[in-house]
Amino acid sequence: MPTNLQPSTFNYLWWQTAVIYQIYPRSYKDTTGNGIGDLRGVIDKLDYLSQTLGVDAIWLSPFYPSPMKDFGYDVADYCDVNPMFGTLADFDELVAEAHQRGLRIIVDWVPNHSSDQHPWFIESRSSRENPKRNWYVWADQPNNWLSVFGGSAWEWDEATGQYYLHSFLKEQPDLNWRNLEVQEAMFNTVRFWLERGVDGFRVDVAHFIMKDPKMRANPPAKEGLAFHRPHGDYDSLSHENDKGHPDTHKIYRRFRTLLDEYSQTAPRMAVGEIHIFDWDEWATYYGTPEAGLEFHLPFNFSLLKTPWEAAAVRRVVDELEAAIPDWAWPNYVLGNHDEGRVATRFGPEQARLAAMLLLTLRGTPTLYYGEEIGMSDVEIPIEQQLDPFGLRVPGWGRDRCRTPMQWSANPNAGFSPEGSATPWLPLAEDWRAINVEAQLEDPTSTLSFYRQLLAIRKENPALRQGSYAPLEGMPEGCFVYQRSEAGQTFTVALNFEPIPQRLSLNGKGRVVLSTHLDRLDKGNLQSFTLRKNEGVMIQMQNAQ
């Protein structure tokens, strides 16, 4: 039986009880008519986020000045706003307006690499004698390290006669985090946004920043250690030396200390993008109370790698509960700007089941924009694809899950004003039916389901912060567990199969929500039938 910290011993902070909602700014709301979303578009939708939907925090993907070779993850200035998204004044207004509504703001921080157009790199490559030469990773001879986006991780610089390291695109040179000046400069960029009132940071490819100082070659791949999706020739090696060196933890202990300094006035947090599927290694990114704390939440991507079957999903949840330190807090992710959409991966009925799972497990959930209306992947012809990863690894492009938010049946799905430029990516074909405006009018819609689910979670401590306990003896194909806190208990029963399943549950209770949105059963639960693909939340009588 997994163990976890008893709620009575925990002083819960906002990031533990919050539901985080990721916004990809290019695709959320365009207010200028140029076909690209912007910060003012996010401001315009704050009431939707805080009141209509009911989330607690917003994570904004990069909005910094950038040549957009990797759509903002190639940062040319860490302390400004790209004019296509607005201004610093717009950002300040966004923070103020969000805080007035009780919403927290999390921004992306990209420490592993900058753009090759960043002033630091322009200086670094200007000559071997430049003071910023050692701000990036240069070598006379390349080793066998590979880029995540394909090919060698080393690019020849003709002017200075050396190679520079890029773990991703050649336009994204890796910063040298072994240089103390780099550390201080990058931590100053964190201070810049903390001073502007941000509540947290999502740290991009967090475990990449420290490499083997001897630059040793990587050995051939070991079975089971690859990413959760194909990465072409990158998967041919075991990436033991080009990321995740133990010294990485020293950096994030310093980072945590900086956040804690600012947390004296308001709690700040950091969540790290860490694609590690060995639980013991993954858990090290929490740090320790003895050596020093690191991330509040290392992103848990395990469900992205797991077959969508009840037994497999339960096994992952139980493994997490067993692996996580008693003092630490779990989290779950089912989608983001790099992954296919939930409705496409699982189908519309199972997408609701997935939402119930995500929002009732113990820990902090992160939602991706558009999942609340059941947006699906958009098949984009190769000639219209923009994602550099997809252009290098055909069939795995990320454009398909980054298409514009579908707000209404108006032109451009309400994403851009009527008469605007064509949106930067094509709309889904179903936008006239699958949109926020239409679903707000339909009490059986996916959005109506999300609204009820989020409201129930917010109103009940057992679902926000209670303990987790799986129930045994359930039919194959069902995952059933309880969340309990201070005398309140909810049973969550999820049927992963396309056939009905009969459960025998101890006690009495009432169904407070079904993924079908059509029943509020009450009474004895000894013989309880879940319909195909159905999930239910039951408030147990002893909790009333």
Structural tokens at position 174: 């890796």
* Residues β-bridged to residue 163: 139, 156
What is the rounded radius of gyration, in angstroms, for the C-alpha atoms of the chain?
23
> Residue 50 corresponds to which amino acid?
S
Please report, for residues 191, 356, 372, 496, the alpha-carbon distance to residue 449 in angstroms, rounded to integers and kept in the order given: 39, 9, 8, 18
Q: Which of the residues are catalytic?
A: 204, 261
Structural tokens at position 287: 């740090």
Distance from C-alpha of 171 to C-alpha of 136, rounded to nearest angstrom: 13
> Residue 483 corresponds to which amino acid?
R
Task: Give the H/E segment covering residue 537.
Answer: strand 535-540
Under 8 Å between Cβ of 200 and 108 = no
Please report, for residues 309, 315, 418, the alpha-carbon distance to residue 286 in angstroms, rounded to integers and kept in the order given: 29, 22, 47
Contacts of 124 (CB under 8 A, 6+ apart): 130, 132, 133, 134, 135, 136, 138, 164, 173
Under 8 Å between Cβ of 39 and 385 = no
3-class SS letters over 453-469:
HHHHHHHCHHHHHCEEE
* Residues β-bridged to residue 366: 20, 333
Backbone angles phi, psi at 357, to 5 degrees: -60, -55
b or e along 512-537 (b: 16 or more beta carbons within 10 Å of the residue's beta carbon)? bbbbbeeeeeeeebeebebbebbbbb
Closest C-alpha to 171, from 73, 239, 244: 73
